[in-house]
Amino acid sequence: MAQRLALQRLLSLPARGSLASHGRALGTSAGRRSTFNVQDGSDFQDRVVNSPKPVVVDFHAQWCGPCKILGPRLEKLVAKLEGKVLMAKVDIDDHTDLAIEYEVSAVPTVLAMKNGDVVDKFVGIKDEDQLEAFLKKLIGA
């Protein structure tokens, strides 16, 4: 618990120099950051369901080994798309309600969402070629 509080304090500090802010960015101040952690149900509604851009939703858990491999791999590919798609990270232990609502029964589970609808999904780990194909299908490339 003390570690979580220390982390929350650290994440709430203002950015220094050219480093990006670690806190939740609002409005257009999100800058070039295309990956974000979902804070709660209303945050998910605002930033994922109501997003004008396609969103990849990574349901993961800190204790999940495959999630630790897939997450960074997926983040790197989303960043390469330079804002054409966003990535929302949802920790299933913190947001059990969202995991239940989207029928997540195993992690990692990745959803592709457009206009608030799930248009594609996979469970488990994928290699970079498979992830690129998944993302290209989502953005229509």
Residue positions annotated with a catalytic role: 64, 67
β-sheet with 117-123: strand ranges across: 35-37, 86-91, 55-60, 109-114, 117-123
Who's near 55: CB < 8 A, 6+ residues apart? Answer: 47, 48, 85, 86, 87, 88, 112, 113, 114
